[in-house]
A and B are shown apart, each in its own frame.
Chain A
Amino acid sequence: MSNPTVEKIIKEINAYTPEAMSEHVGIVTAVGDGVVAIDGLSKAVMSEVILFDEGKGKSLAKSMEAEGELFGVILNLEEDGVRAAILGDTARVAEGMTVKSTGRVLSVPSGEELLGRVVNALGEPIDGKGPFKKTTLMPVERQASGVIDRKSVSVPVQTGIKAIDAMIPIGRGQRELIIGDRATGKTTIAIDTIISQRFEPPATRPICIYVAIGQKQSKTARIVEQLKGAGALEYTIVVDAPASAPAALQYLAPFSGASIGEYFMDRGKDVIVIYDDLSKQAVAYRQLSLLLRRPPGREAYPGDIFYLHSRLLERAACLSEEKGGGSLTALPIIETQDGDVSGYIPTNVISITDGQIFLVAELFNKGIRPAIDVGISVSRVGSAAQKKAMKVVAGGLKLELAQFRELEAFMQFAQDLDKATADRIASGQRMVEVLKQKNGAPIRVEMQVAILYAAGQKFFADVPVANVTKVEAQLSEFLDGQYSKTLAEIKKTGVLLDELKKELNRAGEEFRLAHPELFSQKS
């Protein structure tokens, strides 16, 4: 007989030695909304994975039709049994079903093979590119690194966004919250940050993990396409727990993302994990907790909602050299309602993170994008990691913009302004234009330094406000073509030496001579 399948079956039958293993089991007594109550399993442990035995009472043919195994995870240990969340299709679970203990806590596969792939909250591939061959299982719940194992943040994460890299710098290993109303550009900042990593040398390029929680699948598909188009998918892993996924998977997805990231961090690599967004995870956890009959607290969230986010974000770390020197940067996203940052979940996450980038709908609607409110956006540890060249050019930027915002309100009522105030307003208006940036177009750090240096030197002072963005783009092109060596030197040294400043000044003058029409008028 030559059929390989038949041969395989014959081999299996010949190798069969009847052995009956005794398994620890329980019985499903109630099921609903993704949560099951189970009698028995008295030796089970928290977060243990359980397997639903769907075959009982079914014919062999019916059992063979099942779409893979159905797992659950234990979330409550009670007097007479346990309560667990179903990690899959709830409709497949029925009362009276036998549930087997697996003896292992919930883990997800991680490894180099995951790069460029889209997985679900359990680490299973969902992009149709086939199963993983060689992966390492990482526990979903893991104790965060201790104080001794950590070191201070010292290397920057270049987001490629001028406003952030200059005024709210992020360090590798930091936790920086991105917060704002819906449709204010939160995800855009996260995606631009991922795309921007392509400017980093491959050896030190951070691995990016984008965790989509409760998002529309069409949005995630669009993001994957965008990353692919920008050549960023090769160093990115997408963990997707869409809005249609059970609450349990939406609750687990950020932890899975952190676990996948920790694999790389433990091996000395830098990782950026984006949790988009934790408000939806909190809602999923609230649903799960209520179904598990845990006592509700404020806004019906369970009492451990703070711990949910703190234990997740504490896993962000910059490890010491003894521990391999890897890092995990967390960029959680929180959606506010009507700009209210004093909500329960926003205040919790603000207090856990090392700073926040606050996005405002009003600025967004005015066309100021990224719509960052620099007044209340802050990075508590990132300045230690900022490149010296950037520090030099961005030193007074935040203050200048804050003063401009104050004067801007005043400007609408005042008719006659003194020269100093008028100059400050004009300068502020141009600076706002300089900091505007298109989405999906991150800028290399050396170019950012050059542009901000030019802005600081009042290069745009006699450019009409409406043309600043255009002139800036042309200047970038000019610098790229004519002064690439200067830019390379800024990148290499990370310092803006006097000689480099002179070269940038010269570049500005040459550009001005080449394009006098851009500088002729004022407005």
Chain B
Amino acid sequence: MSESKTRTRMKILASLVFFMFAAVTTRLWFLQVLASDQFSALASQNQIRIVPLTPLRGEIFDRTGDLLVENHASTVVLVDRSELQGQGDTVLARLSSLLHIPVADLASRLNSVKYLPFQPVPVAENVAKADVFYIEEHHDLFPGVSYRQEAVQVYPKGTLAAHVLGYLGPITTAQLKEKQFSHYEADELVGQSGVQSSYESDLHGVDGYRGVQVNAQGKVLNNDFGGIPPSPGNNVYLSIDDKIQRMAEQSLSLGIDLARHTPSGISGGTLPATGGAVVVMDPNNGQVLALASNPTYDPAIFDSGLTPDEATSLDLNPKTPPSHDNPFLDRATQGLYPAGSTFKPFVAAAAMKEGFASPTGSYDCPAQYIAPEDVKKHPWHNWDPVDRGFISLTDALAISCDTVFYQFGNDFWLKYGGGNRNELLQQDLGQMGFGQFTHVDLPGEQPGKIPTYETLKQIFAREHKRFFGWEPGDSLNLSIGQGLLQVTPLQMAMAYSAIANGGTLYAPRIGLKVVTPDGHLVTNVAPQKIRRIPLPPSRVAFLRDALTQVTLNGTASFAFAGFPLERIPVAGKTGTADIPPRAPISWFAGMAPANHPKYVVVAMVEQGGHGATTAAPIVRHIMEQLFGIVGSKTLQAGNVVD
């Protein structure tokens, strides 16, 4: 064996070893220098489990500072799955009989995937003190069972303003995908309706978290491994005045009761009065002082999820047909109804704008009207079978003469005809806020609809009927607020507020201000002007003056008999919207004091009969209380006029 050959072979071997070390070192360089940050992050993930901490939700106050939604301490019972010692079934059975909760409910909550294996799982809220003491005293019977105080939101005034306040519910899978909820945890409670939903981002606060250090076996080594405490949500003050809200709800409820004892005239029975709404608004800034919808519900019912019976009672159970008049629907912002004659002031405003009507003009009020261009010569009747002769525009509004407005409707139709297709009436009504969102700070608002050529065409196409175009009758119907017109009570309140304040449309506002938990102002919800309605202030003032005649000697004079109108003049308008074969929708929209309105009050009762029968007495009853008038303690039925 030659020395040099061995040396060469040794060098080959040494190079191989050197190459091995170079390879390992290069890899170390990659892991520890180039990719170190990534691996450090992975190392943290390895050992830190993040436990989300839910912030204390903000409370909701009325404009005077009365609590509408407040946080209460609730005793929550928790079960630590790792400490059940194999007695899970027995322990759950004991808990079930103690807390009167079915074992299946407890078990399904205990098996929630939301919690990490080492996290105690809440299985029952609002547990009575006595039950907690029992668990404490018999700890050997309840291994792994513990309790703690948690904040839950309660509604101290019960169902008051339920539709305004809304309810909380676990975040849905669909919501979790939305950008607004991107930082939310699954199962977190969020506002699902009302102010709870529209002011969710203010009320919710900022989630915190706590780090929990675990080892490879998942054993907790450090329960407080850094983290960020949650910051509580802000408090929201509403423009709602809880006293006015209560009046509005009570008056609405009394009015509905009354209607249900009033003969219907159609079927021979009494009026069904399936529901209704009241809006009280400050016309000078759009602030909503009361917003009532009847029937209502208890927002606390959603606290721990709905039982099937509760869902049925809210008409939310898909397995049972709706039979409770849908208490969940906010009729003030989501209910859609033809406006009936409460619409006439806006048609009059449009007619004045287009030159078809003037404050000084006089207009024929026959018992029936036939549009000259109508080939079918269909007679259109006034609600009142008496020929009133020529009357002023003021009187036409006061006695709600349909035939005068039919003529305005025909004038609009003539503008439309001849191939012009000028939908002037629709455009003017749109300028007054109809057929559009009011942009109230409540979720789920409906925009309603002003029928146009296009909407009519779509409806005919959907029903596979031959479409003859926008006919005179369509304009006539719209001129008295009937037919396919759909408005919400809130839109009416907004539009009447514009008449009350000289012509400015304010977006309705439910929120007043947002403040931090320690009282510092975050945001003031400023009044928002949408636009001026297309009518000069003098003409708006004329309309308001004309509407005072309605209560003095017009359609609502009976309903307002005995009301001190000389001291507190009330401008208003009745409305009776027909959706045959059902009983008509009863409307009244009023403002007071008419010379300088502080309040606009709109009442609507489904199948409540004529405007003067049910809605006008409701508004009167509310105004009596608003102005401290010692009047009738009970609500009295009006008469059967439009």
B and A form one assembly: no
